Structure formats: structure tokens, C-alpha cells
Amino acid sequence: MGLRWRLVAALVLVSGATLGVAALALLSPLENRLRRDELSALVNTAVSFRPQFDSLDRSDITELTPRFRAIVGDLQTRTHARVVVVGIVGATREPFYDTDPVDTSFADASAALARDAIVVGQQALGDESSARIAMPISLEDGGRFAVLLRKPLSDASAAVQTVTRAFVVAALAGLLAALLLGFGIATTLLRRLRRLRQAALALAEGGLASPTADPNATFDVTGRDEIGDLGRAFATMQERLRREEQSRHAFLATASHELRTPLSGLRGMLELLEEDLAAPKPDLEDARRQLSKAQEQSLRLTTLANDLLDLSRLDSGIDLRCEGLELGELSRAVAAEFEARAEVRRLELVIEPVAPRWATGDPGAVARILRILIDNALRFAPPGSAIEVIAGGDSQHARLAIVDDGPGVEPDQRERIFERFERGGTHAVGTGFGLGLAIGRELARAMGGELAIVECATGARFELELPGATPDQAWELPPAQPSAANGPPTRVARDPTQPA
């Protein structure tokens, strides 16, 4: 069966089972309750006439006086039952009066007189049940009689039959309504699911660039139920995939362009070098210049390839170590790599403070970020100025700031410079590819930190924030803990006296 008929069948079966249980729980107890109530009402009416019977004389009963007939008639009218008055003559029970002689079974009369108490019972008569009540009467002159009431409990059966018929009609109407409602709901749900299926197939066939791939037009995003949530989830997924696809195309186009430029230059320089060496009198000086330029372009290509490789690893969710590291020591080690370049540009690298400052992260990733920031500062800082590397923060948040006196970054560019292939400006000494800050920010986020530019009076101030630590702590990341996409890495304490 399809989903529609399974939904309808389930709804009808549940409704039928509910109605069946309701019938079993209602109809049978109802009939018993009605019979008990009818029998109780009959007993109460008989008891209310007992004082009138007790006030009679023996002669009223034996001679069936008008007074006796009036009491019996009134009782019969009130109860709609057969009334029998039985007396004991010797060893036999003799009926003195019977409003509807049918049978002569008066055993309950003897029991009522013997116990001097009302005897109540029921007797099955075919499919019906009859109430049998025997009430003892003690006359003022010492005579003893029994008043018997015989009445079929047909009112209870009739009431139950009426309720049963009404219940059956209501059950059929309820099942029909459940069938129609279930069919309507199932049809609506399947129609909406079919639209989602067709949209998914159209998206699979036409791709993310298909004109029919408009999320709001393709998927059911207006509903406020679970299918509407599913449609909105599909639309969100499609829009995110579309943005990812656009970013991928833009990245490939820009990367191709960036690769083409140094490759073209390198090819031209090699051709000039070949011409110089092929001449009868080689121009060795020009050949050396072309070789030097070719080496520079080769180095640029190597740097770009490494940056692209790092970005691809970050996009795939690489695992980073997470252990205790001292920012001051790491800063001094990285700054030593740039001393020669700083001397050429007459720049001073200042590491602050002298006191240790601990953080948790991947030492290699932190060193890479620091190299990117110092390299940017060396390219933008004016000659004769200082570049400060400042470690600060507390046990919760450790910060590493790189400050220079360069031209700074315009406010509207402070977020764009962290995008891929976005260059910071035209004041730099040498050109880059615009990938360093993007790599630095993604590495920082992969370690549970952040890399941002902070507003300052002059120049530029970049701050790397990492989870803090104390000198007594050292951490390492379990092998299966990932990266930027899944938030900060999980820390596991280890003995700080042991190597990482």
C-alpha cells in the first residue's frame, strides 16, 4: 500500500478501535446500571407504601375492601408492576389478590415473612429479566401477609437498545468522517511531498545554477508544519550550496588568475635568459638578472601553492593540536626569523612583555599566524619605526597583538581584508596574494580563538585571541577532534612535566 492508504487505514483502525473500546466500556455497564436503578426505584416505591398496608385490618385484605383495592391500585399505577398479596393459611401460601395472575410461584413470599425483611431478586424470562420483590406486612391485629411485585426490566433494555443504536450511528458517522479526513490529509501531505521530490529531482538535474532552483519558488517554505520546516531546510541547504558553489567558482577564477601572472612572468624571464645564453657573446649580467627575477617568481609560485594547499586543508577540516604554549617564547622564536629583513628596512621588532603568557593551541598554527602578521607589518610599516609583538590576557583568554605604525586599514575594509584574495592596500613593500589573513583567521577559529583588527590611533593593530591557560596546565587534543566547523577543540589535561 502507498503512504496515502496506510495513513487512511491507520486512522480508520485507530478510530474503530477507540469506538469499540468505548462501546465495551459503556454499553454493558450502562445496562447493568439501569437495571439496578430501576430495581432500586421499585423497592423504594414499595417501601413508601408499607405504612399504608400495615394500617389495614385482616378483614380489609380477606374481603378486598375498597380501601385495600385503592392502596393496591395506587401501588400498581405508581410501579406499573404486577401486585400480588399473599397470606399464609396453615402450611400453604394463598394469594388473596393478584392484579395479573400469571404464575403461582411465591417462594420469595415465604422468605420475606420468615426473615421479616424485604426480599429482592431477578428472574430471567427468555431474553428479558424480571424484578421480583417480596415485602412483609404486619397488620395491627396480628395478621401477616406479603406484598409481591413482579415487573419486567424492559425499560433498561429499551434504553440500552436506544443508546446502542445511537452509538452505532455515531460510530459509523465518525468512521466515515475519519476516512474522509484521513484521505484529505494524506492527499494534501503527499501532494506537498511530491512537490518537494520534484524540486529535489529538478535541482539534481539542473544543478545549483538552474533557473528553476529558486528556493522560495521551488520548495514549500510557507507551511508552518513539519513539511514546511523540511522545505525551509531544503531551501537553506540549496542557498548555502549555491553560495559555496559561487565561492568555489570565484576562488578558482582568482587562483587561476593569480597563478597565470607569475607563470607568464616566469616564462618570459626564462625566454630572455635563453636568448641571452644563446647569443654568440652571452650577456651574463642580464642573464643573472633574469635568473634572479625567475627565482623570485618561482618563490612567489611556491608561496601561493603552499597557501592554496593550506586553505584546502582548512576547508577539509584538518585536526589541530591543542596544548599549552608560552606566547612570549613563541613570539621571540618567530621574530628571530625576520630580523635580517627588519634590518634591511631599518625596522625594530619589540617583544612584550618579558613575563610568560600561556595559551592553549597548536604551536605550529600559532607560529604560522604570527609569521603572517609580522610579514604584513614589515611590508606596511615605514622605515625607522618599530613593530611591537605584545602578549597579554588572562587565564581565560590569551591575546597576542602585532602593532605597527603603517597607514592602517580603512574601517570599511577591516573585514574584507580577511577574505580570500583581498589585498590590504597599495602602501605595501612587495605584493602578496591576499591569502595570509584569510588563512590566519581560519587557523585561529580552528583552535577556538579569533583573529581580528582592532581600532587604534595610528597604524594597525591585529589581535590573536586564544583560550588561556596557566603555567600548571598543558593540554592536547584527542586525534578525532576537529576544527573550525565544529567549534573549539576539546581539551584533555596531561601532566605538564611530561613532553607533549
**Could you list the mean pLDDT of each consecutive 10-residue stretch along the chain, which spans 500 residues?**
72 78 76 81 89 84 86 88 77 72 75 84 74 85 82 76 80 80 79 79 70 52 72 79 74 70 78 79 79 79 76 72 86 90 89 79 90 89 90 84 88 82 59 77 89 87 88 48 37 34
CA proximity to 306, closest of 383, 243, 372, 362: 372
The conformation of residue 103, written as its DSSP 8-state character, comes to: -
User: CA-based angle 228:231:234, to the nearest 5?
Assistant: 155
**CATH code assigned to 3-161:** 3.30.450.20
Residue pair 441/484 in contact (Cβ under 8 Å)? The answer is no
Q: How far apart are CA 277 and CA 283, in angstroms?
A: 7
Strands 348-352 and 386-393: parallel
List of long-range contacts for 19-25, beta carbons under 8 Å, 24+ apart: 19/171, 19/174, 19/175, 22/167, 23/167, 23/171
CA atoms within 13 A on the CB side of 131: 26
Place of cell 583581498: 422
Q: How far apart are CA 392 and CA 385, in angstroms?
A: 22
Query: How many H-runs (helices) and E-runs (strands) does the chain carry?
Result: 12, 14
Classify domain 323-493 at the CATH class level. alpha beta
The conformation of residue 468, written as its DSSP 8-state character, comes to: B
Residues of each domain in the chain carrying CATH 3.30.450.20 = 3-161
Residue pair 481/490 in contact (Cβ under 8 Å)? The answer is yes
Residues of each domain in the chain carrying CATH 3.30.565.10 = 323-493
Contacts of 191 (CB under 8 A, 6+ apart): none
Burial class (CB in 10 A: 0-12, 13-18, 19+), 199: buried
Question: Which option is the CATH number for 231-315: 1.10.3720.10, 3.30.930.10, 1.20.1250.20, 1.10.287.130?
Answer: 1.10.287.130
Q: How many CB atoms lie within 10 A of CB 373?
A: 26
pLDDT at site 457: 79
pLDDT at site 68: 87
pLDDT at site 462: 92
Q: How many CB atoms lie within 10 A of CB 417?
A: 21
Residues of each domain in the chain carrying CATH 1.10.287.130 = 231-315
- Nine-digit cell at 168? 452505532
Q: How many CB atoms lie within 10 A of CB 346?
A: 11
pLDDT at site 158: 76
pLDDT at site 104: 65
CA proximity to 328, closest of 366, 348, 371, 358: 358
Strands 475-476 and 492-493: antiparallel
Residue pair 137/146 in contact (Cβ under 8 Å)? The answer is yes
pLDDT at site 450: 92
Residue pair 327/400 in contact (Cβ under 8 Å)? The answer is yes
pLDDT at site 499: 35
- Nine-digit cell at 360? 592553549
Place of cell 580570500: 420
First to last CA, the chain: 61
pLDDT at site 370: 92
Q: How far apart are CA 124 and CA 152, in angstroms?
A: 9
pLDDT at site 141: 73
Instruction: Specify the 3-state DSSP secondary structure of 8.
Output: helix
